[in-house]
Structure 1
């Protein structure tokens, strides 16, 4: 028998009505797309898969991913849009035009009061190498892997102040109960 998920109060068995549903993307609003794109493409090695502009509503969407080596991504924009919305685990950066001209950080990071959204997470093959890479790229740390109660977990901030958890999967087997 294959694993079907941990069970807790409130967990309901899925029905066939949700067959085929998948988590496609998480959206973060960004103040300045040039700075945000530089951060996510340089520091985390993501690529922009698709940009969609909505002139009437004055915003742009940037869909970022880390395709597997050799993965076929369509060249034609319409086909690539369909491909983008059929993927798992993309990051959508939303830019409301004109926000780049506002002073200071303009979006709630979810960790200040009142808390809500917490963070996104990247898994890396070598946590120490990732920390050194972040230092070399002047990435702001919230917590290093040797700090706090949860060792082997790093938190950094992106250019808009959103928290990013960074983990090395094979170090987390004993995490929690």
Structure 2
């Protein structure tokens, strides 16, 4: 072990990983529905990892693929999607546990903020995104929950708006 000290004040939460069944379904969802950008793809012998993040605040125009990968790799809020090869064509594959059902309850959701919740909900409706909870449902009127293609929950809330419990 090194005798060097570490400075926890510079630690960052870099990424979360989800296992996905089919990248041909999941990658377009995160790119075209949520607006994330895939900045890295890393293949192993029997799996491939895809790294995505929102490009806002991280100018990437004109950067090479390597420069883009380095820039995004230094940021927070990255989503890693891990595809185990073959799951997309396995008719007996039942999918992954989302963490919100028994057995395996534990993980809950990720969350994104949007500029206008009402407009985002309309856009999700137009794109035929499946909702877990619409803003008008339940006590919390200022949030929505949508499902990704693998059944993971994504909380959607408006930037700079207080979540109200009624």
Please confirm whether the aligned pair reaches a TM-score higher than 0.5, indicating the same fold. yes
Q: CA deviation at 1:146?
A: 1.0
Given that residues 105 and 160 in structure 1 are in contact (C-alpha distance below 8 angstroms), is that contact kept between their aligned partners in structure 2? Answer: no
3-state SS, counterpart of residue 129 of structure 1 = helix
3-state SS, counterpart of residue 82 of structure 2 = strand
Moved over 3 A (4+): 79-82, 173-176
Query: Distance between the aligned counterparts of 1:174 and 1:16, measured in 2?
Result: 39
TM-score (norm 1): 0.81
> 1:148-163 residue pairs with structure 2 within 5 A?
148-163=138-153
Query: Distance between the aligned counterparts of 2:115 and 2:42, measured in 1?
Result: 32
The aligned residue for residue 49 of structure 1 is 39
Given that residues 40 and 69 in structure 2 are in contact (C-alpha distance below 8 angstroms), is that contact kept between their aligned partners in structure 1? Answer: yes
Q: CA deviation at 1:90?
A: 0.8
The aligned residue for residue 6 of structure 1 is none
Given that residues 140 and 163 in structure 2 are in contact (C-alpha distance below 8 angstroms), is that contact kept between their aligned partners in structure 1? Answer: no
Q: Which range moves more in the overlay, 167-176 or 144-153? A: 167-176
Q: CA deviation at 1:151?
A: 1.5
Q: How many residues align?
A: 159
3-state SS, counterpart of residue 121 of structure 2 = helix
Structure 1: 5+ residue stretches without partners: 1-14
Given that residues 63 and 90 in structure 1 are in contact (C-alpha distance below 8 angstroms), is that contact kept between their aligned partners in structure 2? Answer: yes
Query: Distance between the aligned counterparts of 1:49 and 1:170, measured in 2?
Result: 28
Q: Once the two structures are superposed, what CA deviation does each residue of 1:130-166 show, in whole Å capped at 9, x if it has no partner? A: 1111111110101000111211110010100000000
> 1:96-115 residue pairs with structure 2 within 5 A?
96-103=84-91, 105-113=94-102, 114-115=104-105
The aligned residue for residue 68 of structure 1 is 56
Structure 2: 5+ residue stretches without partners: none
Q: Once the two structures are superposed, what CA deviation does each residue of 1:18-46 show, in whole Å capped at 9, x if it has no partner? A: 13210111111100001001111110011
Q: Which range moves more in the overlay, 15-24 or 109-118? A: 15-24
Query: Distance between the aligned counterparts of 2:43 and 2:154, measured in 1?
Result: 26
TM-score (norm 2): 0.86
Query: Distance between the aligned counterparts of 1:152 and 1:173, measured in 2?
Result: 6
The aligned residue for residue 141 of structure 1 is 131
Q: CA RMSD in A?
A: 2.2
Query: Distance between the aligned counterparts of 1:160 and 1:170, measured in 2?
Result: 29
